[in-house]
Each structure stands twice: as structure tokens, then as C-alpha cells.
Chains A and B, each alone.
Chain A
Amino acid sequence: MVSLETTVLGQPFGNPVVLASGPAGFGLELSSLFRRRPLGGLTTKTVTWEPRSGNPPPRMVDAPAGALNSIGLANPGLETFLADVLPEVRELPTVRIVSFAASDPHEAESMAGRLGEADGVDLLEFNLSCPNVEGRPPACARGTAEEMVRAAARASRAPLLAKLAPDVTNMVEIADATLEAGARGLTLINTVRGLRINRDTGRPVLARSWGGLSGPAILPVALGKVFQVREAFPGVPIVGVGGVTDLGSLLEMLMAGADLVGVGLGVMADPESPWKLVDELATWLSRRDIDHCSEVVGCAHRGGLGIGETT
């Protein structure tokens, strides 16, 4: 019998597949799927201190092998989340990772304090890297990232993951800063900043011009970042996110060093896909006589699977 179980920051995950923050909202539209079969975890839509209605439409446009979104952290705000949304999220039979963002260290401290002590919050993911709000994301500057994470980590009772941006010169340096400041794990990567032009009008398609690219198009970028950070910090848990839509990309993400793998665009296109991936992963491991999924995690750093050619 193959084991997909893994423990990350003290939380027991039944399998390594989680919903990435954003596309699945708070997971409530998928509650029927959660009740039918287990999934490793759910990362909620990012919560902010104040409610946010998000960016004006259009907020979404196709891209080759992916999509560009500019939702802009639309969410009901901390108080409504705690009062009305979290009680429902708590009922989902999975590990709950609550994503939050903050505009300054003081807010980060308050948010992490409130969320970290709330019943039903298993882990916190600090979104330092949304490309769709005003200003430079905190994850794009070492000093800011460090300051924000230090404030949040100090206040949070729940272990903190830092979600970083791919659009940086030195990913390892930023990762180092956030870990130094108290992050216990990393989520890599957020969407890649991009833009599309309407060929009829000659103007950017998205109302806010810029968006974040997700989907298979960014898989190699995400794999590169995960690989690089895993190599630099071998003991730090990583949630690998970016372009995982099928078994092949899931395997690559695990092999690059992700302990958990987030599905984003995949769940928009096919709501069942995270659950299908769990089944396909179990079958793949069992066909190769691999007893435990952890044997695959990070194997690219150890000379591979050690059983000859892989698929």
C-alpha cells in the first residue's frame, strides 16, 4: 500500500496535493468534492484587513498555455472572514491554510495575531507577492519582506508560510530574509507578472493592464525556483505552486523539492483535477514500487529516483 501522507509544520496531510490560494476562493463551492474524497489541504483566498472588491473588469484573459488574472485580492475582509466564512471553512475535512496580505508591518502583526489564534486555522500563508494590487509587492525587496514577516511571525500562533514572487533577481536572498524573520516554510511561486494587448483596439486587455500569469506556461519557472530554494535550504518545507495541471507536472514539482503541491489554474479548468491527481500519483508510485511519496520529494537533488529511466 502506497503512503501519500506527509507532515508539514506539525500538520498531518493525507496527501501532498493542496488547493493554491485564489482560484478556489474559500473552497466552499467545492465542498461536495471535499466530502466525497480527501485532499491534502486547502489554501484560502487571501484575506485582507479591510474588505476589498478587487479590480475592475476585465480581470481575466487567456494566454498561450495559461491565463492572466487581475482579480486584485477581492475578499470580504478579516472580520467577515472570521465571523462568517471561517466557520464554514472549518467544516471542510482537510488541512486549512489561511492566506492573508497586509499593507504594512503593523497590519501584518494584527492580521497574523487574529488569524493565528482562530479555531480552524491550521497554517498561515503570508501573501507577500500579489502582482495585482497597488505598489511593489513586499516580496520584491529584501528589507520589506523581512520586516513584514518579522511582524507577522511574532504575533502568530500558527506556523507561517511566506508566499514569494518569481519576479525577483535573487529568490534565495528573499527566501533567506523571510526565513530569518520567522517564516517556517515557503510557498513558491505566485503568478508571473504579464500583460496582453487587444489586437483590435491596441490597448491592454485587462482593465488594470497588468496581470499574473498562471498555468502550464509558468511550470518551468516555478520548478526552477523550487529547485533553487530547496538546494539552498534543504530542511525548509516548500509548497510548490505554478503550472501543475497533470500527473507529469505534479511529479516534477515533487522531484524539484516541493513537500506539498498547490493546484491553481487547474482547479478553475477542472474542479475535480486535484482529486484526480491524488489518485494518479498513488497509481504511479505503486507501479514503480515506491512505498512512500517522500522518496520522490527532492529526488532531483539526490541523483534521481535511482531506478533507471523515469517517464
Chain B
Amino acid sequence: MRNTQQAAQAATPTTGSLFLCWQTARLVARHRAGNYAVVELAVEREILGRPGQFLMARAECGPALPRPLSLLWTEGSRIAFLVKDEGLLRARLAEAPRGSLFELRGPYGTAYRQAIDGQRRFLLVGGGSGIAPLEFFARCHPEMVEATVFGLRCAADAAVLPERNTLVEELGQGTAGARALDMWRPGLGIIACGPEAMYRQLAAGLPDHSGVYVALEERMGCGYGACQGCVVMTTDGPVRLCKDGPLLPLEKVKW
């Protein structure tokens, strides 16, 4: 396991303009399993991203707008993503030969540690690619983690994170959500990142929503807080997921 503690504790480099500038990243290693891949890239400038933050990524001849990708870890000049092989950019990350070039900028978004109640311990509940930021969080803040409950669609997918016990999540069965509800006890927090159905399941099953946080997803434009493309409505009014999110208290989410 990689030591990501140092990166996690470093200050977020939001001063200066570097986080707005694209840099070239070279695909240096990949571990594929089922429909998923852990993709490692070497970057020119160190990216001091923290768990829950994301980078904007693009490739030549890709879509007109870049795509947000959550960090799985960062270490010096290496970063990693966990991607499912769907969509133009993700499929290319999952399939392109080693040495392929991509472009990255960031990090963006509020780190989970900054968005949660720091006095609690948490169940990390993830589904699919949503596992990435939670895995990063678990590595950086083990003292805050009670347990991880990660669901992937099949046993082949689960081999993408061999160090974790992942559940096989049949479509529509809510396996990970149900396990999380079983494990939850009063006082324990939850950080969830996965499909909306999982959040609804948690919302319906938990008697108390305080200390429960969900990572929301919307189509993103700029990634740096200007265009308002990724705004969602909350009880506090509109929120930009790229800047003020993506993690929000469940009680503030308007379904």
C-alpha cells in the first residue's frame, strides 16, 4: 500500500494559477479487472490532491468538455484513478497502451476531511467508481474509518482492489447499502459515494441523518467554480458541486 499520508496533509494548492493549467500526464501502469481499471499516470508537476478531490482530464480527439475524475491516490509525481471502461475518455484510460498521453488539471473540489464532522468515525459506503475517493480517504485517515462497504457488479470487478473485501452488488439489489444499514449504529457517521439509489436506500433506512454525507454527481463544465453547470439545489440554496461539493450532508440534499 502506498503512503499517501503526506499528500493528504499538505495544503491544497489553490493559490496561484497552476491548478487552472493543463499538464501532460503519461500512462505508466494499469491494473485491469473486469470492467474496471486502476490507472497510474506520471505528471510533470506534483498534484497535491486530497481524498474527495478530483482532476479534470482530457485526451486528444476526446469530448469538447473535459471529464472530472476522482483521485484514488497521489504520491509525488504519480497519481491514480479508478475508472470503469465506459465513455470516451474513461474507456481510453482503461484501454490505451502504456506511454499514452493525457492532460490533467486540478485538483478541484472540497476534500472530504473539510466537509465532514471531524469528531466522528465513519462507515465508508461506495459503489462502482465511487469507491475511488473512499479508498483514498481510508488510506489517508484510517483513524476516522470504522469500516468500508464497497460494492461492485461482479467478482471479476472486485479484483481491481485486491486489498479490500468488496461485495458483489447485483443490479437493483442494494447489497452494499443494506450491509451498511446493518453495520450502522447511533453516533457513527457515513460517507457514501455511489449511485443515487444507494443514497435513497440509506436515507430511507437510517433513523438519523446527522453525520451522513453523500457525494453528488452532475455533468460538469469548467470544474473550477465559474460556469455553474454542476449546480444542485440544496436546503441552503444552489451549490456548485465542483467547488462547494461534491460531498454534501444528506440532510441538505433535495431529491
Contacts and interface: CB of A to CB of B under 8 A. Distances in A.
Interface residues of B, number: 29
Interface string B213-231: 0000011111011111111
B248 to A, nearest CB: 13
Interface in A197-214: none
A209 to B, nearest CB: 15
Given A29-B225, A66-B64, A216-B64, A58 B20 contact: no
15 contacts: A22-B227, A24-B222, A24-B226, A29-B225, A33-B17, A53-B238, A57-B233, A58-B218, A59-B229, A65-B64, A67-B65, A69-B229, A267-B222, A271-B21, A272-B17
Interface string A40-71: 00000100000001101111111101110101
Interface residues of A, number: 37
Interface in A109-139: none
Given A23-B227, A57-B232, 20 more contacts: A25-B225, A32-B15, A32-B17, A33-B20, A36-B17, A54-B228, A57-B218, A57-B230, A59-B218, A59-B229, A60-B218, A61-B219, A62-B65, A67-B64, A67-B65, A216-B64, A269-B64, A270-B22, A271-B105, A271-B224
Contact of B64 (A27, A58, A63): A63
Given A67-B221, A269-B64, A24 B227 contact: yes
A25 B64 contact: no
A72 to B, nearest CB: 9
Interface of B: 15-17, 20-22, 58, 63-66, 105, 218-222, 224-233, 237-238
Contact of B238 (A25, A60, A67, A74): A74
Interface in A52-107: 53-54, 56-63, 65-67, 69, 71, 74
B233 A56 contact: yes
